[in-house]
Amino acid sequence: MSNITLRQIRYFAVLSSTLQYRRAAQQLGISQPSLSLQIAALEEALGARLIERKRSGLILTPTGREAAAQAERVLREVDGLVHVAGPSRSEMSGTLRLGSSPTIGPYLLPRVLRQLHQSYPDLKLVIRDSTPKELVEDLIAGRHDMILTQLPVPGDNLRLRTLFREPLSLAVAREHPLAERKQAVRADLSGESLLSLSPAFALHTQVTGLGVDTGATLRNDFEGTSLDALRQMVSLGMGVTLLPALYVRSEVNLRDPDVSVLDLRPPLYRQIGLAWRAASGEPPAFARFADLIRDVVRTEFAAEVTLTS
């Protein structure tokens, strides 16, 4: 028998509860073909058909019904094991696995880690960066305990906690006509070339929407893989873009003389928060970690972002 993965078990559990590939894929934050491949791999590993396609929709086979019940038990046991081996439900100790968006973590987490080590020296935080889509997929598959990302995130089986609202600023090259101004209105973007991160990032959706609203043109021939790449493209005069406030404070204002940053009016924001599996419940360690992030934001980034309740 081939190895069965926790990801396959989680995916099958969601599919068996929805009996719709489209809806299950939406909850999991993955594509339908990816879901189909994982279910097929699970069936091959088990040597049995779990799902049947009927004209009326999907149904579980007798083996599928038994496997679905077992999958739910397995997932409950796994979540219980995580809480035993990971952060205690009453103390901040053990290991907490955090997934983080590369557009957020590098500019926030170093300060959080410093405070975390001072306040909770027995807690080990393991951080892994990846795109928002991969973060959600890995969270559902059990590779992360929680994720720090831009909200909203897909998935009905997730719990969310909004932390703060972060403004997005307009970045232009120093020789751009807008460079000497402190702020720009959206009408100023008409006819401009907009640079964006790839569609794997939530910021792509906001940049695309701004282009539609203002008459700017999204440059599909250049998609940045990081905020640094976007900033460098702007400095070369390839277009304008949106940059988050924490990134601007860390990487632009003090380090890049070739880029000017303007406030956008009316302003545009993104919501930053934590997400975890609903099956994990409400561990006190998660709430304390969220409060710690909010404390750091309140004391060190009050001028840049706004805390949300």
Q: Which residue has the tokens 């068996």?
A: 16
Q: How far apart are CA 192 and CA 194, in angstroms?
A: 6
Q: Please report how many Cα atoms fall inside a 13 Å half-sphere around the Cα of residue 118, on the Cβ side.
A: 8
8 A C-beta contact, residue 242 and residue 210? yes
Tokens linked to 257: 């003389």
By three-state DSSP, how is residue 219 classified? strand
90, pLDDT greater than 50: no
d(CA 63, CA 61): 5
Say whether pLDDT at 87 is over 60.
Answer: no
Instruction: Indicate whether 88 pLDDT > 80.
Output: no
Contact 304, 245 (CB under 8 A): yes
* pLDDT for position 83: 53
Residue 2's pLDDT band (boundaries 50, 70, 90)?
Answer: low
Predicted pLDDT of residue 81: 63
Verdict on whether the full-model pTM lies above 0.85: no
Give dist(CA 100, CA 105) in Å, integer.
Answer: 6
**Across 88-110, average pLDDT:** 83
Q: According to the model, what pLDDT value does residue 82 have?
A: 58
Residue 230: per-residue pLDDT: 94
pLDDT band at residue 231, thresholds of 50, 70 and 90?
A: very high
pLDDT in tens, 120-143: 888 888 999 999 888 988 888 888
In this predicted structure, the answer to whether residue 180 has a pLDDT above a threshold of 80 is: yes
Which pLDDT band, with edges at 50, 70 and 90, does 254 fall under? low
Q: What is the mean pLDDT of residues 79-87?
A: 56
**pLDDT for position 188:** 96
**281-307: pLDDT as tens digits:** 888 889 899 999 999 999 999 989 999
By the 8 A CB rule, do 71 and 65 touch? Answer: no
Q: For residue 187, is pLDDT > 60? A: yes
- Least confident range from 54-68, 87-101, 154-168: namely 87-101
Of 247, 304, 268, 244, nearest to 186 by C-alpha is: 268
Going 250 to 254 to 257 to 261, the CA torsion angle's sign is: positive
- Give the per-residue pLDDT at 124: 85
Supply the pLDDT for residue 80.
62
> Higher-confidence residue: 88 or 197?
197
SS3 assignment, position 302: coil
